[in-house]
Amino acid sequence: MRAFFNRKKKLTAALLLIIIAAGVFAFNENDKYFQIAKNLDIFAAFYRELNTYYVDDLPPEKIMHKGIEAMLEETDPFTDFVSEENLDDLKFMATGKYGGVGASINTNGDWTTITDVYEGSPMDKAGVKPGDIIVSMDGKSVKNVAQEEISRQLKGAAGTSLDMVFRNPLTGVETPRKIVREEINVKPVSYAGIVKNDIGYIKMTQFTENSGAMVRKSVEQLKQSHPGLKGIILDLRSNPGGLLDEAVIVANIFVDKNRLIVSTRGKVKNWDRSYETTEQPVDIHIPLTVLTNHSSASASEIVAGSMQDLDRGVVIGQRSYGKGLVQTTRQLPYNTKLKVTTARYYTPSGRCIQAIDYSHRNDDGSVDYVPDSLRKSFATAGGRAVKDGGGIEPDAKVDPTYISQVAITLLRKQFIFDYATTYYYSHPKIATPATFSLSEAEFADFERYLENKDYSYKTRSEEALDSFKSTARKEKYYDAIADELETLEAKMKHDKKQDLLKNKTEIKRLLEEEIVNRYYLQKGRIARSLEWDNEVNTAADILHNQAKYKQLLTIAR
C-alpha cells in the first residue's frame, strides 16, 4: 500500500512539473508576442511624435526603409525587402527573363559602348555589333550619361521600340536603328559541345525555370550525335544557383527515379520537405564530372553535393561557396515582397554545407566561417568521408588560374577589346572557334598597337613594397633602411615590354577569345577558351582514365 502511495506521489509530482512547464512555455510564447506588440506600439508612437515635432520634414518612405534595413542587418544577406520597382529583378532571378534589347554595355569616358550582343536578340537582329558606340536614344544624346541610366532605358516591356543612333568605332559613321524590345531569355545552358573528341561538355550558368529540361535535352543530343561518348563534364563554375526544384531535375538526369537529392528543415515544421527524383534518368552509368569553384553556390551545390554523396560523379575544381540556406518570397502590402530564409538544406548524406554561421554574431556584429574543428564528418553511399559546414570540397582539387597584372590592365583599359574591334573590321572571316589562332605577325601588330598606349600598372610586389614603406615611415624605421629599399625598388621595377612578352601566351589567348566573340558571339568565346581551360582538361583526363575515375569514387578522404 505504501509503495502504491509513493508511486502516486511521484506521478502527481511529475504531472505537476508537466503542467508548470507547459504554463511556463505558454507564458514565454505569450510574453514573446507581447514584446512584439509592445515594441510595435512604441515604434509607431515614436515615429508619430518624431514626424509631428521634428524641426524639418522627414520623408516617410526613406525613414521607414532605413528601419527595415536596420532589421535586416540582424539576418543573413539573402533575406531582403523587395520594393515594387525591384520586382523585375526578383522575376529575372527565378525565370531568367526580362524585357530588353539583349546586349551588354560599358561606359568608358564620355560614351557607352556595346560589349556583347546576345544571339537572336533585338540588337543582333538590328545588326548592332560589339564595339558600336551609342550616340543617342529616342532623340536624346547619351554623352556623359551614367551606365546605370542607359541600362535602365534599354530595358522595357516587350514590343516597345527604341530609336537609337550608333557610331562605328573606326569610321565614325553614325547609323540610326529602330530596336524593338523583346522578352530576353538568358539561356541557363550557355554552351553544349564536345571536348577532346569524345567528352561531352555542358556549361550551366543559372538554375531558372526549365533549366533542368534544357540540360536534359543537351545530354540527350550529345549522346545521340556522339554514340561513343566517354563521359560528361557538367560545368557549374560561377553558377550562383537559383530554383531548388530545378537542381533536383538536373540531378535526376544522372540518377535513378525515387532517389533522395536534398531535404529542407526550418522553423516552420510543416514546410520541411524531402526532394526525390521523379522521372526516368537519361543515363545513370555514363562517367560524370562536375566542375565547381568558389562562386558555385546554392542550387549548384545541391547538384554537386548530391552527385558526390551518391558517388555518382567526381567533383573537380575548388571548394564551392557554401550556401546551405533556402529562401521563400512572402507577399507584403503595396506590391512589395519579403525574400526570407526559411530553411537549411541537407544533401543525401545529411550534411548542411552552409559555411558562414549567421546565427551567432560577434560583439561588433560580424560573422565567422564555421571553424574546421566544428565541421562534422558524414559518409557517401559508398562510405567516403565528406564534411558539412564549408561548401562542397572537390574530389580532385585544381588550383584556380589567375591572370597576370599586365593582362588585367589590358582588359580593364579595354585595349584587348578595342584591338579585337579593329581586327574584326579588317578581317571579313576567320576560322572556326576551336581552330582560330593569332599568327606571330598578328601578335606583333598588337604590340605595335600598344606602343603609344598607357597601360602602366603596379605589380603586386610593387604594391606590397609601397605598403611596407608606408608602415616603415609610421614606425620610424624608414630612414635607417631607405638605401636598401631604393635598391630593392630599382631591382623590382618592371619593364612593360618584357611583361608583355613574358605573359604572351596568356594575352594571346585573351585576344583570341575576344576576337572570336566578334564573329561567333558567346558560344564562340566559350568554345575557344576550352582548349586551355585547366579544370576542363583535368576533368577530360580523369574521364579518359577509368581507373583514376573509379579510384576517386572509392578512396576515403
Are 237 and 292 within 8 A, CB to CB?
A: yes
Are 382 and 362 within 8 A, CB to CB?
A: no
Q: Please classify residue 366 by burial: count the beta carbons closer than 10 Å to its beta carbon, then call 0-12 exposed, 13-18 middle and 19+ buried.
A: exposed
Are 332 and 313 within 8 A, CB to CB?
A: no
Distances (CA, A) of 329 to 105, 188, 244: 31, 22, 14
Active-site residue identified among 187, 196, 203, 323: 323
Annotation says 323 is catalytic: yes
Are 87 and 99 within 8 A, CB to CB?
A: no
Active-site residue identified among 132, 235, 309, 499: 309
DSSP symbol at 269: G
Annotation says 437 is catalytic: no
What burial letters (b/e) apply to 454-488, b meaning 16+ CB within 10 Å? eeebeeeeeeebeeebeebeeeeeeeeeeeeeeee
Q: Which of 325, 248, 269 is nearest to 80 (CA)?
A: 325
Pairing of strands 140-141, 133-137: antiparallel
Q: What is the CA radius of gyration of the chain?
A: 29
- Residue 243 to residue 247: CA distance in whole angstroms: 7
Cell representation of residue 183:
522578352
- Residue 521 to residue 515: CA distance in whole angstroms: 9
Q: Please classify residue 79 by burial: count the beta carbons closer than 10 Å to its beta carbon, then call 0-12 exposed, 13-18 middle and 19+ buried.
A: middle
Annotation says 235 is catalytic: no
Is 22 strand, coil or helix? helix
- Residue 184 to residue 121: CA distance in whole angstroms: 7
Is 299 strand, coil or helix? helix
Is 436 strand, coil or helix? coil
Binning the chain into helix, strand and coil, the percentages to the nearest 5 are 45, 20, 35
Phi/psi for 115 (5° steps) reads: -105, -30
Active-site residue identified among 263, 298, 300, 320: 298
Distances (CA, A) of 466 to 173, 175, 460, 478, 496: 46, 49, 10, 12, 19
Query: SS3 sequence, 116-181?
Result: EECCCCHHHHCCCCCCCEEEEECCEECCCCCHHHHHHHHCCCCCCEEEEEEECCCCCCEEEEEEEC
Is 291 strand, coil or helix? strand
Q: Which of 169, 151, 175 is nearest to 101 (CA)?
A: 151
Phi-psi region of 350 (alpha: psi -120 to 50; beta: other; left: phi over 0): left
Residues catalogued as catalytic: 298, 309, 323
